[in-house]
Amino acid sequence: MDNELLKQVTEKANKWLGTEYDEETRAAVKAMLENEDKTELIECFYKDLEFGTGGLRGIMGAGTNRMNIYTVGAATQGLANYLKVAFAELPEIKVVVGHDVRNNSRKFAEIVANIFSANGIKVYLFDSCRPTPEMSFAIRHLGCQSGVIITASHNPKEYNGYKAYWNDGAQMIAPHDVNTIKYVNEVTSVSEIKFEGDPSKIEIIGENIDSIYLEKIKGLSMSPEAIAKHHDMKIVYTPIHGTGGKLIPRSLRNFGFTNIINVPEQDIESGDFPTVASPNPEEPSAMAMGIAKAKETGAEIVLASDPDADRIGLVIRDKKGEYVLINGNQIVLIFLNYLMTRNAELGRLTGNEYVVKTIVTTETIKRIAEAQHIKMYDCYTGFKWIANVMRENEGKARYLGGGEESYGFLCQDFVRDKDSVSAISIMAEIAAWAKEKGLTMIDMLQDIYLKYGFSREKGISLVRKGKSGAEEIIAIMKQFRENPPKQLAGADVVTVKDYQTLVKTDCTTGATEKLDMPTTSNVLQYFTNDGTKISIRPSGTEPKIKFYIEVRDNMANAADYDAAIERADAKIATICKELGI
Protein backbone atom coordinates (compact mmCIF):
# COMPACT_ATOMS: atom_id res chain seq x y z
CA MET A 1 0.00 0.00 0.00
CA ASP A 2 1.13 3.57 -0.77
CA ASN A 3 2.00 4.90 2.71
CA GLU A 4 2.14 8.51 1.52
CA LEU A 5 -1.40 8.22 0.08
CA LEU A 6 -2.66 6.59 3.30
CA LYS A 7 -1.14 9.40 5.31
CA GLN A 8 -2.85 12.02 3.11
CA VAL A 9 -6.29 10.40 3.23
CA THR A 10 -6.00 9.85 7.00
CA GLU A 11 -5.24 13.55 7.51
CA LYS A 12 -8.23 14.50 5.31
CA ALA A 13 -10.51 12.02 7.10
CA ASN A 14 -9.49 13.22 10.58
CA LYS A 15 -10.77 16.70 9.70
CA TRP A 16 -14.21 15.11 9.21
CA LEU A 17 -14.28 14.09 12.89
CA GLY A 18 -14.70 17.75 13.95
CA THR A 19 -17.88 18.99 15.63
CA GLU A 20 -18.89 20.98 12.56
CA TYR A 21 -19.81 17.62 10.94
CA ASP A 22 -22.99 15.85 11.99
CA GLU A 23 -22.95 12.77 14.20
CA GLU A 24 -23.84 10.33 11.41
CA THR A 25 -20.93 11.55 9.25
CA ARG A 26 -18.44 11.43 12.13
CA ALA A 27 -19.47 7.87 13.00
CA ALA A 28 -19.06 6.71 9.38
CA VAL A 29 -15.60 8.31 9.07
CA LYS A 30 -14.49 6.94 12.46
CA ALA A 31 -15.47 3.42 11.35
CA MET A 32 -13.41 3.79 8.17
CA LEU A 33 -10.36 5.04 10.10
CA GLU A 34 -10.58 2.16 12.58
CA ASN A 35 -11.06 -0.52 9.93
CA GLU A 36 -7.89 -2.50 9.22
CA ASP A 37 -8.84 -2.63 5.54
CA LYS A 38 -8.22 0.94 4.37
CA THR A 39 -9.76 0.45 0.89
CA GLU A 40 -13.00 2.30 1.70
CA LEU A 41 -11.14 5.12 3.46
CA ILE A 42 -8.94 5.64 0.39
CA GLU A 43 -11.89 5.47 -2.02
CA CYS A 44 -13.83 8.05 0.01
CA PHE A 45 -11.00 10.52 0.54
CA TYR A 46 -8.28 10.05 -2.11
CA LYS A 47 -9.67 12.96 -4.17
CA ASP A 48 -12.38 15.61 -4.21
CA LEU A 49 -15.41 15.33 -6.47
CA GLU A 50 -14.95 17.54 -9.53
CA PHE A 51 -17.13 18.90 -12.31
CA GLY A 52 -16.95 16.61 -15.35
CA THR A 53 -19.10 16.50 -18.51
CA GLY A 54 -22.16 16.16 -16.27
CA GLY A 55 -21.16 18.23 -13.22
CA LEU A 56 -20.62 16.60 -9.84
CA ARG A 57 -21.46 12.90 -9.61
CA GLY A 58 -20.54 10.16 -7.18
CA ILE A 59 -21.57 7.45 -4.76
CA MET A 60 -23.48 8.75 -1.73
CA GLY A 61 -21.67 8.53 1.61
CA ALA A 62 -19.17 10.28 3.88
CA GLY A 63 -15.93 11.70 2.47
CA THR A 64 -14.51 14.25 0.03
CA ASN A 65 -15.00 11.85 -2.90
CA ARG A 66 -18.64 11.13 -2.05
CA MET A 67 -21.98 12.88 -2.51
CA ASN A 68 -23.13 14.20 0.87
CA ILE A 69 -24.44 17.41 2.41
CA TYR A 70 -20.90 18.77 2.81
CA THR A 71 -19.65 18.18 -0.76
CA VAL A 72 -23.00 19.46 -2.07
CA GLY A 73 -22.75 22.34 0.41
CA ALA A 74 -19.22 23.32 -0.63
CA ALA A 75 -20.17 23.16 -4.33
CA THR A 76 -23.16 25.42 -3.70
CA GLN A 77 -21.26 27.88 -1.52
CA GLY A 78 -18.51 28.08 -4.15
CA LEU A 79 -21.07 28.58 -6.92
CA ALA A 80 -22.88 31.25 -4.86
CA ASN A 81 -19.58 33.07 -4.27
CA TYR A 82 -18.79 32.97 -7.99
CA LEU A 83 -22.29 34.12 -9.04
CA LYS A 84 -21.95 37.15 -6.78
CA VAL A 85 -18.72 38.09 -8.60
CA ALA A 86 -19.90 37.20 -12.14
CA PHE A 87 -23.20 39.09 -11.78
CA ALA A 88 -22.09 41.80 -9.33
CA GLU A 89 -23.90 44.46 -11.40
CA LEU A 90 -27.36 42.88 -10.96
CA PRO A 91 -29.69 44.10 -8.19
CA GLU A 92 -30.81 40.49 -7.63
CA ILE A 93 -29.27 37.17 -8.63
CA LYS A 94 -31.78 34.38 -9.30
CA VAL A 95 -31.36 30.60 -9.53
CA VAL A 96 -33.60 27.57 -10.13
CA VAL A 97 -33.17 24.41 -8.05
CA GLY A 98 -34.67 21.05 -9.06
CA HIS A 99 -34.15 17.37 -8.31
CA ASP A 100 -34.97 13.84 -9.47
CA VAL A 101 -36.41 10.82 -7.59
CA ARG A 102 -33.16 9.54 -6.10
CA ASN A 103 -32.62 8.87 -2.42
CA ASN A 104 -31.47 12.11 -0.74
CA SER A 105 -32.31 14.20 -3.83
CA ARG A 106 -35.00 16.29 -2.10
CA LYS A 107 -32.78 16.70 0.96
CA PHE A 108 -29.83 17.88 -1.17
CA ALA A 109 -32.07 20.22 -3.21
CA GLU A 110 -33.42 21.88 -0.05
CA ILE A 111 -29.86 22.29 1.29
CA VAL A 112 -28.83 23.88 -2.03
CA ALA A 113 -31.83 26.25 -1.87
CA ASN A 114 -31.02 27.17 1.74
CA ILE A 115 -27.37 27.93 0.96
CA PHE A 116 -28.21 30.10 -2.06
CA SER A 117 -30.85 32.00 -0.06
CA ALA A 118 -28.45 32.46 2.88
CA ASN A 119 -26.11 34.15 0.40
CA GLY A 120 -28.81 36.63 -0.60
CA ILE A 121 -29.68 34.83 -3.85
CA LYS A 122 -33.32 34.45 -4.95
CA VAL A 123 -34.24 30.75 -5.35
CA TYR A 124 -37.02 29.15 -7.38
CA LEU A 125 -37.34 25.65 -5.88
CA PHE A 126 -39.53 23.04 -7.56
CA ASP A 127 -42.19 21.63 -5.21
CA SER A 128 -41.21 18.02 -6.02
CA CYS A 129 -39.12 16.03 -8.52
CA ARG A 130 -39.07 17.30 -12.11
CA PRO A 131 -37.33 16.44 -15.41
CA THR A 132 -33.89 17.99 -15.86
CA PRO A 133 -34.91 19.73 -19.12
CA GLU A 134 -37.74 21.54 -17.33
CA MET A 135 -35.17 23.03 -14.94
CA SER A 136 -33.18 24.22 -17.97
CA PHE A 137 -36.37 25.74 -19.41
CA ALA A 138 -37.17 27.47 -16.11
CA ILE A 139 -33.76 29.20 -16.01
CA ARG A 140 -34.46 30.87 -19.36
CA HIS A 141 -38.16 31.47 -18.70
CA LEU A 142 -37.60 33.09 -15.28
CA GLY A 143 -34.53 35.05 -16.36
CA CYS A 144 -32.19 33.36 -13.89
CA GLN A 145 -28.41 33.47 -13.81
CA SER A 146 -27.87 29.85 -12.85
CA GLY A 147 -29.57 26.62 -11.88
CA VAL A 148 -28.80 23.36 -10.13
CA ILE A 149 -30.46 19.99 -10.52
CA ILE A 150 -29.74 17.14 -8.12
CA THR A 151 -29.56 14.00 -10.24
CA ALA A 152 -27.25 11.18 -11.24
CA SER A 153 -29.18 10.64 -14.46
CA HIS A 154 -29.26 6.92 -15.35
CA ASN A 155 -26.55 5.78 -12.90
CA PRO A 156 -27.22 2.97 -10.39
CA LYS A 157 -29.11 3.77 -7.16
CA GLU A 158 -25.94 4.27 -5.01
CA TYR A 159 -25.16 7.43 -6.98
CA ASN A 160 -26.35 10.99 -6.87
CA GLY A 161 -25.14 14.09 -8.65
CA TYR A 162 -25.16 17.85 -8.95
CA LYS A 163 -25.48 19.53 -12.34
CA ALA A 164 -24.78 23.26 -12.47
CA TYR A 165 -26.22 25.44 -15.25
CA TRP A 166 -25.52 28.94 -16.51
CA ASN A 167 -27.92 31.75 -17.49
CA ASP A 168 -28.57 30.36 -21.00
CA GLY A 169 -30.05 27.20 -19.46
CA ALA A 170 -27.06 25.03 -20.44
CA GLN A 171 -24.61 23.12 -18.27
CA MET A 172 -21.50 25.11 -17.54
CA ILE A 173 -18.47 25.15 -19.78
CA ALA A 174 -15.26 27.20 -19.52
CA PRO A 175 -14.67 29.67 -18.07
CA HIS A 176 -17.62 29.21 -15.69
CA ASP A 177 -17.02 25.54 -14.77
CA VAL A 178 -13.31 26.26 -14.15
CA ASN A 179 -14.10 29.41 -12.14
CA THR A 180 -16.74 27.60 -10.08
CA ILE A 181 -14.25 24.82 -9.25
CA LYS A 182 -11.75 27.50 -8.18
CA TYR A 183 -14.32 29.09 -5.87
CA VAL A 184 -15.45 25.67 -4.57
CA ASN A 185 -11.84 24.74 -3.79
CA GLU A 186 -11.49 27.95 -1.82
CA VAL A 187 -14.22 26.72 0.55
CA THR A 188 -11.79 24.93 2.85
CA SER A 189 -13.90 24.74 6.00
CA VAL A 190 -17.47 23.64 6.68
CA SER A 191 -17.86 26.80 8.76
CA GLU A 192 -17.71 28.82 5.52
CA ILE A 193 -20.85 27.11 4.18
CA LYS A 194 -24.00 29.10 5.00
CA PHE A 195 -26.43 26.26 5.70
CA GLU A 196 -29.01 28.47 7.47
CA GLY A 197 -31.51 29.46 4.78
CA ASP A 198 -33.57 32.63 4.34
CA PRO A 199 -37.16 31.46 3.63
CA SER A 200 -38.12 34.88 2.27
CA LYS A 201 -35.69 34.30 -0.63
CA ILE A 202 -37.15 30.89 -1.61
CA GLU A 203 -40.17 30.67 -3.92
CA ILE A 204 -41.77 27.28 -4.58
CA ILE A 205 -42.66 26.62 -8.22
CA GLY A 206 -44.42 23.72 -9.93
CA GLU A 207 -47.58 23.56 -12.03
CA ASN A 208 -47.19 27.21 -13.07
CA ILE A 209 -43.98 26.23 -14.92
CA ASP A 210 -45.24 22.77 -16.01
CA SER A 211 -48.16 24.16 -18.01
CA ILE A 212 -46.09 26.80 -19.83
CA TYR A 213 -43.33 24.29 -20.64
CA LEU A 214 -45.83 21.72 -21.97
CA GLU A 215 -47.57 24.35 -24.09
CA LYS A 216 -44.23 25.35 -25.64
CA ILE A 217 -43.51 21.69 -26.44
CA LYS A 218 -46.95 21.31 -28.07
CA GLY A 219 -45.96 24.15 -30.40
CA LEU A 220 -43.20 21.91 -31.86
CA SER A 221 -45.73 19.57 -33.52
CA MET A 222 -45.37 19.55 -37.31
CA SER A 223 -47.78 16.74 -38.27
CA PRO A 224 -51.04 17.37 -36.36
CA GLU A 225 -53.14 15.91 -39.23
CA ALA A 226 -51.26 12.59 -39.04
CA ILE A 227 -51.78 12.49 -35.26
CA ALA A 228 -55.48 13.28 -35.60
CA LYS A 229 -55.85 10.34 -38.01
CA HIS A 230 -53.79 7.90 -35.90
CA HIS A 231 -54.48 9.29 -32.42
CA ASP A 232 -55.44 5.84 -31.10
CA MET A 233 -52.12 4.26 -32.08
CA LYS A 234 -51.01 2.11 -29.12
CA ILE A 235 -48.01 3.64 -27.35
CA VAL A 236 -46.41 2.05 -24.29
CA TYR A 237 -44.58 4.57 -22.10
CA THR A 238 -42.53 3.94 -18.95
CA PRO A 239 -40.68 6.49 -16.80
CA ILE A 240 -38.60 3.65 -15.20
CA HIS A 241 -39.49 5.01 -11.71
CA GLY A 242 -38.31 8.49 -12.66
CA THR A 243 -39.60 12.04 -13.11
CA GLY A 244 -40.93 11.51 -16.65
CA GLY A 245 -44.24 10.17 -15.34
CA LYS A 246 -45.07 13.67 -14.16
CA LEU A 247 -45.13 15.30 -17.60
CA ILE A 248 -44.62 12.89 -20.52
CA PRO A 249 -48.09 11.27 -20.57
CA ARG A 250 -49.55 14.79 -20.33
CA SER A 251 -47.41 15.94 -23.25
CA LEU A 252 -48.45 12.95 -25.39
CA ARG A 253 -52.11 13.73 -24.66
CA ASN A 254 -51.43 17.40 -25.47
CA PHE A 255 -50.18 16.30 -28.89
CA GLY A 256 -53.45 14.41 -29.40
CA PHE A 257 -52.53 10.80 -28.62
CA THR A 258 -55.35 8.97 -26.83
CA ASN A 259 -54.05 5.43 -26.35
CA ILE A 260 -51.10 5.72 -23.97
CA ILE A 261 -50.45 2.45 -22.14
CA ASN A 262 -48.45 2.65 -18.92
CA VAL A 263 -46.41 0.09 -16.97
CA PRO A 264 -47.94 0.50 -13.47
CA GLU A 265 -45.03 -1.10 -11.56
CA GLN A 266 -42.61 1.40 -13.12
CA ASP A 267 -44.83 4.44 -12.56
CA ILE A 268 -43.81 4.32 -8.89
CA GLU A 269 -41.31 7.11 -8.20
CA SER A 270 -38.46 5.48 -6.29
CA GLY A 271 -34.73 6.06 -5.86
CA ASP A 272 -34.34 2.32 -5.32
CA PHE A 273 -35.52 1.61 -8.90
CA PRO A 274 -37.09 -1.64 -7.65
CA THR A 275 -37.89 -3.29 -11.02
CA VAL A 276 -34.52 -2.77 -12.74
CA ALA A 277 -30.83 -3.44 -12.07
CA SER A 278 -30.00 -0.12 -13.75
CA PRO A 279 -32.56 2.57 -14.71
CA ASN A 280 -30.91 3.14 -18.09
CA PRO A 281 -33.09 2.94 -21.24
CA GLU A 282 -29.97 1.83 -23.17
CA GLU A 283 -30.10 -1.46 -21.26
CA PRO A 284 -32.41 -4.15 -22.70
CA SER A 285 -33.24 -5.26 -19.13
CA ALA A 286 -34.54 -1.78 -18.26
CA MET A 287 -36.89 -1.93 -21.25
CA ALA A 288 -38.06 -5.51 -20.59
CA MET A 289 -41.27 -4.62 -18.71
CA GLY A 290 -42.24 -2.07 -21.35
CA ILE A 291 -41.70 -4.67 -24.08
CA ALA A 292 -43.75 -7.24 -22.14
CA LYS A 293 -46.60 -4.71 -21.88
CA ALA A 294 -46.32 -4.02 -25.63
CA LYS A 295 -46.55 -7.74 -26.42
CA GLU A 296 -49.55 -8.05 -24.13
CA THR A 297 -51.37 -5.10 -25.75
CA GLY A 298 -50.08 -5.24 -29.34
CA ALA A 299 -48.56 -1.75 -29.07
CA GLU A 300 -46.69 -0.26 -32.02
CA ILE A 301 -43.87 1.40 -30.09
CA VAL A 302 -42.39 1.45 -26.60
CA LEU A 303 -41.04 4.76 -25.30
CA ALA A 304 -39.11 5.28 -22.07
CA SER A 305 -37.26 7.98 -20.16
CA ASP A 306 -34.46 7.69 -17.61
CA PRO A 307 -34.80 8.87 -13.95
CA ASP A 308 -34.30 12.59 -14.69
CA ALA A 309 -36.19 12.36 -18.00
CA ASP A 310 -33.52 13.72 -20.29
CA ARG A 311 -32.80 10.47 -22.20
CA ILE A 312 -35.20 8.59 -24.45
CA GLY A 313 -35.52 4.82 -24.95
CA LEU A 314 -37.22 3.44 -28.08
CA VAL A 315 -38.45 -0.02 -29.09
CA ILE A 316 -40.10 -0.67 -32.48
CA ARG A 317 -41.34 -3.76 -34.32
CA ASP A 318 -39.29 -5.42 -37.03
CA LYS A 319 -40.67 -7.10 -40.18
CA LYS A 320 -41.39 -10.29 -38.21
CA GLY A 321 -43.38 -8.34 -35.63
CA GLU A 322 -40.67 -8.77 -32.98
CA TYR A 323 -39.90 -5.84 -30.67
CA VAL A 324 -36.36 -4.52 -31.20
CA LEU A 325 -34.40 -1.96 -29.20
CA ILE A 326 -33.27 1.05 -31.26
CA ASN A 327 -29.84 2.36 -30.36
CA GLY A 328 -28.95 5.98 -29.61
CA ASN A 329 -27.38 6.59 -33.02
CA GLN A 330 -30.51 5.33 -34.79
CA ILE A 331 -32.70 7.48 -32.53
CA VAL A 332 -30.76 10.62 -33.53
CA LEU A 333 -30.89 9.49 -37.17
CA ILE A 334 -34.69 9.08 -37.08
CA PHE A 335 -35.17 12.46 -35.39
CA LEU A 336 -32.90 14.49 -37.64
CA ASN A 337 -34.18 12.79 -40.79
CA TYR A 338 -37.75 13.68 -39.78
CA LEU A 339 -36.96 17.26 -38.72
CA MET A 340 -35.00 17.99 -41.91
CA THR A 341 -37.43 16.19 -44.22
CA ARG A 342 -40.60 17.57 -42.61
CA ASN A 343 -39.27 21.14 -42.60
CA ALA A 344 -38.49 20.70 -46.31
CA GLU A 345 -42.01 19.31 -46.97
CA LEU A 346 -43.58 22.28 -45.21
CA GLY A 347 -41.44 24.73 -47.15
CA ARG A 348 -39.76 25.99 -44.00
CA LEU A 349 -36.14 25.65 -45.12
CA THR A 350 -34.52 28.99 -45.96
CA GLY A 351 -30.91 27.85 -46.20
CA ASN A 352 -30.15 29.23 -42.75
CA GLU A 353 -30.83 26.10 -40.67
CA TYR A 354 -28.42 23.82 -38.86
CA VAL A 355 -28.28 20.55 -36.94
CA VAL A 356 -25.76 19.36 -34.35
CA LYS A 357 -24.28 15.98 -33.44
CA THR A 358 -21.41 14.91 -31.25
CA ILE A 359 -18.14 13.63 -32.75
CA VAL A 360 -18.87 10.06 -31.57
CA THR A 361 -22.36 9.98 -33.14
CA THR A 362 -22.99 8.34 -36.55
CA GLU A 363 -21.57 10.00 -39.67
CA THR A 364 -24.75 9.07 -41.61
CA ILE A 365 -26.29 12.26 -40.18
CA LYS A 366 -23.67 14.25 -42.09
CA ARG A 367 -24.80 12.58 -45.33
CA ILE A 368 -28.46 13.51 -44.70
CA ALA A 369 -27.56 17.12 -43.82
CA GLU A 370 -25.41 17.46 -46.97
CA ALA A 371 -28.23 16.06 -49.15
CA GLN A 372 -30.68 18.56 -47.63
CA HIS A 373 -28.12 21.43 -47.88
CA ILE A 374 -28.32 21.96 -44.11
CA LYS A 375 -25.25 22.92 -42.10
CA MET A 376 -24.12 20.30 -39.59
CA TYR A 377 -21.90 20.96 -36.58
CA ASP A 378 -19.79 18.32 -34.84
CA CYS A 379 -19.11 18.95 -31.16
CA TYR A 380 -17.74 17.16 -28.10
CA THR A 381 -19.70 14.60 -26.10
CA GLY A 382 -22.03 16.12 -23.54
CA PHE A 383 -25.06 18.25 -24.26
CA LYS A 384 -23.36 21.37 -22.95
CA TRP A 385 -21.35 21.37 -26.20
CA ILE A 386 -24.49 21.15 -28.34
CA ALA A 387 -25.82 24.06 -26.26
CA ASN A 388 -22.57 25.92 -26.94
CA VAL A 389 -23.17 25.67 -30.71
CA MET A 390 -26.73 26.94 -30.11
CA ARG A 391 -25.40 29.85 -28.06
CA GLU A 392 -22.98 30.84 -30.83
CA ASN A 393 -25.74 30.71 -33.46
CA GLU A 394 -28.41 32.47 -31.40
CA GLY A 395 -30.11 35.12 -33.51
CA LYS A 396 -28.05 34.13 -36.58
CA ALA A 397 -29.36 30.74 -37.72
CA ARG A 398 -32.30 28.40 -36.93
CA TYR A 399 -31.68 25.29 -34.85
CA LEU A 400 -33.56 22.23 -36.15
CA GLY A 401 -32.31 19.62 -33.71
CA GLY A 402 -29.31 18.02 -32.10
CA GLY A 403 -28.42 14.76 -30.45
CA GLU A 404 -25.83 12.31 -29.24
CA GLU A 405 -25.46 8.55 -29.39
CA SER A 406 -26.11 8.24 -25.65
CA TYR A 407 -29.89 8.46 -26.16
CA GLY A 408 -30.17 12.24 -25.84
CA PHE A 409 -31.99 14.56 -28.22
CA LEU A 410 -33.24 18.15 -28.23
CA CYS A 411 -35.94 19.25 -30.68
CA GLN A 412 -36.17 22.91 -29.62
CA ASP A 413 -34.13 25.95 -28.61
CA PHE A 414 -36.11 27.05 -25.52
CA VAL A 415 -34.33 24.28 -23.53
CA ARG A 416 -30.54 23.83 -23.56
CA ASP A 417 -30.17 20.22 -22.48
CA LYS A 418 -31.37 16.91 -23.84
CA ASP A 419 -35.11 16.61 -23.33
CA SER A 420 -37.11 13.39 -23.33
CA VAL A 421 -40.40 15.23 -22.71
CA SER A 422 -40.27 16.85 -26.15
CA ALA A 423 -38.30 13.98 -27.73
CA ILE A 424 -40.86 11.33 -26.75
CA SER A 425 -43.72 13.54 -27.95
CA ILE A 426 -42.02 14.12 -31.32
CA MET A 427 -41.02 10.43 -31.66
CA ALA A 428 -44.70 9.46 -31.24
CA GLU A 429 -45.52 12.05 -33.91
CA ILE A 430 -42.88 10.51 -36.22
CA ALA A 431 -44.59 7.11 -35.80
CA ALA A 432 -47.94 8.68 -36.79
CA TRP A 433 -46.32 10.52 -39.74
CA ALA A 434 -44.72 7.29 -40.98
CA LYS A 435 -48.06 5.49 -40.62
CA GLU A 436 -49.75 8.21 -42.67
CA LYS A 437 -47.20 7.48 -45.42
CA GLY A 438 -47.99 3.76 -45.20
CA LEU A 439 -44.70 2.98 -43.49
CA THR A 440 -43.79 1.27 -40.24
CA MET A 441 -40.95 2.68 -38.13
CA ILE A 442 -38.63 -0.10 -39.33
CA ASP A 443 -39.53 0.73 -42.98
CA MET A 444 -38.58 4.32 -42.32
CA LEU A 445 -35.24 3.39 -40.75
CA GLN A 446 -34.44 1.06 -43.65
CA ASP A 447 -35.35 3.78 -46.16
CA ILE A 448 -32.78 6.07 -44.48
CA TYR A 449 -30.11 3.38 -44.82
CA LEU A 450 -31.01 2.68 -48.47
CA LYS A 451 -30.82 6.36 -49.34
CA TYR A 452 -27.74 7.39 -47.33
CA GLY A 453 -25.81 4.14 -46.80
CA PHE A 454 -25.99 1.59 -44.00
CA SER A 455 -24.10 2.14 -40.77
CA ARG A 456 -23.86 0.03 -37.66
CA GLU A 457 -22.59 1.29 -34.33
CA LYS A 458 -21.50 -0.36 -31.13
CA GLY A 459 -20.43 1.23 -27.86
CA ILE A 460 -18.21 -0.69 -25.46
CA SER A 461 -17.36 0.55 -21.98
CA LEU A 462 -14.50 -0.86 -19.93
CA VAL A 463 -15.30 -0.18 -16.27
CA ARG A 464 -12.23 0.53 -14.14
CA LYS A 465 -13.22 1.65 -10.65
CA GLY A 466 -11.33 3.59 -8.00
CA LYS A 467 -7.81 4.97 -7.96
CA SER A 468 -6.20 1.96 -9.64
CA GLY A 469 -8.92 2.05 -12.32
CA ALA A 470 -8.32 5.74 -13.02
CA GLU A 471 -4.60 4.98 -13.49
CA GLU A 472 -5.38 2.09 -15.84
CA ILE A 473 -7.61 4.32 -17.98
CA ILE A 474 -4.75 6.85 -18.31
CA ALA A 475 -2.42 4.01 -19.37
CA ILE A 476 -4.89 2.72 -22.02
CA MET A 477 -5.23 6.19 -23.58
CA LYS A 478 -1.41 6.58 -23.58
CA GLN A 479 -1.00 3.22 -25.32
CA PHE A 480 -3.48 4.08 -28.12
CA ARG A 481 -2.00 7.57 -28.51
CA GLU A 482 1.56 6.28 -28.88
CA ASN A 483 0.70 3.13 -30.89
CA PRO A 484 -2.28 3.87 -33.17
CA PRO A 485 -3.56 0.92 -35.22
CA LYS A 486 -2.39 0.82 -38.86
CA GLN A 487 -5.34 -1.28 -40.02
CA LEU A 488 -8.84 -2.15 -38.74
CA ALA A 489 -10.60 -5.25 -40.08
CA GLY A 490 -8.31 -5.23 -43.13
CA ALA A 491 -8.88 -1.56 -43.99
CA ASP A 492 -6.10 1.03 -43.75
CA VAL A 493 -6.36 3.74 -41.09
CA VAL A 494 -6.10 6.92 -43.19
CA THR A 495 -6.84 9.64 -40.63
CA VAL A 496 -6.16 10.09 -36.91
CA LYS A 497 -7.76 12.89 -34.90
CA ASP A 498 -6.36 13.66 -31.45
CA TYR A 499 -8.55 16.16 -29.65
CA GLN A 500 -6.08 16.47 -26.79
CA THR A 501 -3.54 18.10 -29.12
CA LEU A 502 -6.21 19.28 -31.64
CA VAL A 503 -4.18 17.70 -34.44
CA LYS A 504 -5.62 15.80 -37.41
CA THR A 505 -3.05 13.56 -39.14
CA ASP A 506 -3.26 12.20 -42.67
CA CYS A 507 -1.65 8.75 -42.24
CA THR A 508 -0.89 8.43 -45.97
CA THR A 509 1.09 11.66 -46.35
CA GLY A 510 1.92 12.47 -42.72
CA ALA A 511 0.41 15.94 -43.22
CA THR A 512 -1.24 17.52 -40.20
CA GLU A 513 -3.84 20.22 -39.69
CA LYS A 514 -5.42 21.89 -36.66
CA LEU A 515 -8.87 20.76 -35.50
CA ASP A 516 -11.32 23.63 -35.03
CA MET A 517 -12.77 22.98 -31.57
CA PRO A 518 -13.49 25.34 -28.63
CA THR A 519 -11.08 23.53 -26.30
CA THR A 520 -9.07 20.31 -26.01
CA SER A 521 -10.57 16.98 -24.92
CA ASN A 522 -9.08 13.57 -24.18
CA VAL A 523 -10.53 11.84 -27.26
CA LEU A 524 -8.84 9.82 -30.02
CA GLN A 525 -10.43 8.95 -33.37
CA TYR A 526 -9.32 6.64 -36.18
CA PHE A 527 -10.90 6.64 -39.66
CA THR A 528 -10.30 3.94 -42.27
CA ASN A 529 -10.54 4.05 -46.06
CA ASP A 530 -13.76 1.98 -46.00
CA GLY A 531 -15.66 4.36 -43.69
CA THR A 532 -15.02 2.78 -40.30
CA LYS A 533 -14.73 5.25 -37.41
CA ILE A 534 -13.34 4.40 -33.96
CA SER A 535 -13.57 6.88 -31.09
CA ILE A 536 -11.94 6.35 -27.67
CA ARG A 537 -12.54 8.53 -24.63
CA PRO A 538 -12.60 8.24 -20.84
CA SER A 539 -16.04 9.09 -19.41
CA GLY A 540 -16.29 12.41 -17.63
CA THR A 541 -18.93 11.18 -15.19
CA GLU A 542 -18.28 7.46 -14.62
CA PRO A 543 -15.22 5.20 -13.99
CA LYS A 544 -15.16 4.02 -17.60
CA ILE A 545 -13.20 4.22 -20.81
CA LYS A 546 -15.53 4.18 -23.81
CA PHE A 547 -14.96 2.80 -27.30
CA TYR A 548 -17.36 3.84 -30.05
CA ILE A 549 -17.22 1.72 -33.20
CA GLU A 550 -19.02 2.62 -36.44
CA VAL A 551 -18.77 0.54 -39.61
CA ARG A 552 -20.35 1.23 -43.00
CA ASP A 553 -21.90 -1.01 -45.65
CA ASN A 554 -24.34 -0.72 -48.52
CA MET A 555 -27.75 -2.37 -48.49
CA ALA A 556 -28.83 -3.72 -51.89
CA ASN A 557 -32.51 -3.45 -50.88
CA ALA A 558 -34.73 -3.60 -47.77
CA ALA A 559 -34.50 -7.41 -47.79
CA ASP A 560 -30.71 -7.07 -47.32
CA TYR A 561 -31.14 -5.32 -43.93
CA ASP A 562 -30.65 -8.38 -41.71
CA ALA A 563 -27.67 -9.57 -43.77
CA ALA A 564 -26.11 -6.07 -43.58
CA ILE A 565 -26.44 -6.22 -39.78
CA GLU A 566 -24.75 -9.65 -39.73
CA ARG A 567 -21.87 -8.44 -41.92
CA ALA A 568 -21.42 -5.32 -39.78
CA ASP A 569 -21.53 -7.25 -36.50
CA ALA A 570 -18.88 -9.67 -37.76
CA LYS A 571 -16.69 -6.72 -38.73
CA ILE A 572 -17.21 -5.04 -35.35
CA ALA A 573 -16.25 -8.31 -33.59
CA THR A 574 -13.00 -8.39 -35.61
CA ILE A 575 -12.22 -4.78 -34.71
CA CYS A 576 -12.89 -5.44 -31.00
CA LYS A 577 -10.45 -8.35 -31.11
CA GLU A 578 -7.81 -6.22 -32.84
CA LEU A 579 -8.23 -3.42 -30.27
CA GLY A 580 -8.10 -5.91 -27.39
CA ILE A 581 -11.51 -4.97 -25.97
Alpha-carbon radius of gyration of the chain: 24
Q: Which of 153, 223, 406, 455 is catalytic?
A: 153
Q: How far is CA 52 from CA 46, 173, 177, 259, 307, in A?
A: 17, 10, 9, 40, 20
What's the rounded Cα separation, in Å, for the pair 505 and 525? 10
Could you tell me the end-to-end alpha-carbon distance of the chain, in angstroms, rounded to an integer? 29
How many CB atoms lie under 10 A from the CB of residue 201? 18
- Residue 401 pairs in a beta bridge with 355
Alpha carbon 109 to chain centroid distance? Answer: 20
Q: At what angle do helices 23-34 and 3-15 cross, to 10 degrees?
A: 160
What's the rounded Cα separation, in Å, for the pair 261 and 237? 6
Q: Which residues of 11-25 are buried (b: 16+ CB within 10 A; e: fewer)?
A: ebbeebeeeebeeeb
How many CB atoms lie under 10 A from the CB of residue 342? 17
What's the rounded Cα separation, in Å, for the pair 345 and 353? 15
Nearest to 420 by CA among 208, 217, 149, 152: 217
How many CB atoms lie under 10 A from the CB of residue 514? 9
- Residue 378 pairs in a beta bridge with 357
What's the rounded Cα separation, in Å, for the pair 75 and 56? 9
Q: Could you tell me if 458 and 572 are in contact, meaning their C-beta atoms sit under 8 angstroms apart?
A: yes
Helix (H, G, I), strand (E, B) or coil at 416: coil
Compute the C-alpha angle 433/436/440, nearest 5°. Answer: 75
Identify whether 117 is a catalytic site residue: no
- Tell me the catalytic residues: 153
